Structure 1
Amino acid sequence: MVLEIVSRTRGNKFVALGFPYDGEIPDGVESKYIIGNSIAQNDLDAAVFANYQPRALAEWKFIPAPEPLVAGRGLEGLETAFGIVRDGVSARNVVVSLE
């Protein structure tokens, strides 16, 4: 489904797959299966986390969702965060701010 949608877009058409895919890849679309820990061993980590993501976040082109649940600040917030996770949280990122 994602590959079909990407095939209808303009520009560079590349999809990083998090799972092996045996299906047909549409013409003009490139894809590569990437194992989660392999990004640190190639240029993908820098491309995403150093080049794309900071700029996209600053320009509101990448909007994280759902809204993070800020449990607290510094080391003092860790116990609260662990308590929230222990008690159960769904579809939220529990965050402790370091600032």
Structure 2
Amino acid sequence: MASINIEETKSQARALLNSRIKSVEELVQARQRVTDLKDQLAAAERDDKRAYVKATRDGWSPDELKKLGLEPAAAGRRRKTQAKTPASPNGTAPDADSADGETVQDH
């Protein structure tokens, strides 16, 4: 039976761990980038809202701004929220398989 070299084995194990650590490091960097971009987006949306309000205070009507393609950013978000399926009285969405709102059970 061949002898096992502890140092060589530890070195091989470290190489394997380093490759696994690298993938986690890349994941953390990607997640941090997403977080940073979300923060930048939130700041940009606040700036957009302030600029829109300033434009209306400076005399531009919402209709005039709309004709220029500058609708308020919040209007788009409100429409999306209203498009959601309303919840049933028990707090769950109606079952799509059921025409009268009753729960359909598999047999």
TM-score bracket for the superposition, by shorter chain length: under 0.3
Greater RCO (Cα-Cα under 8 Å, separation 6 or more): 1
Specify which structure has the higher proportion of helix: 2
Normalised by the length of structure 2, the TM-score is 0.22
Specify which structure has the higher proportion of strand: 1
Normalised by the length of structure 1, the TM-score is 0.23
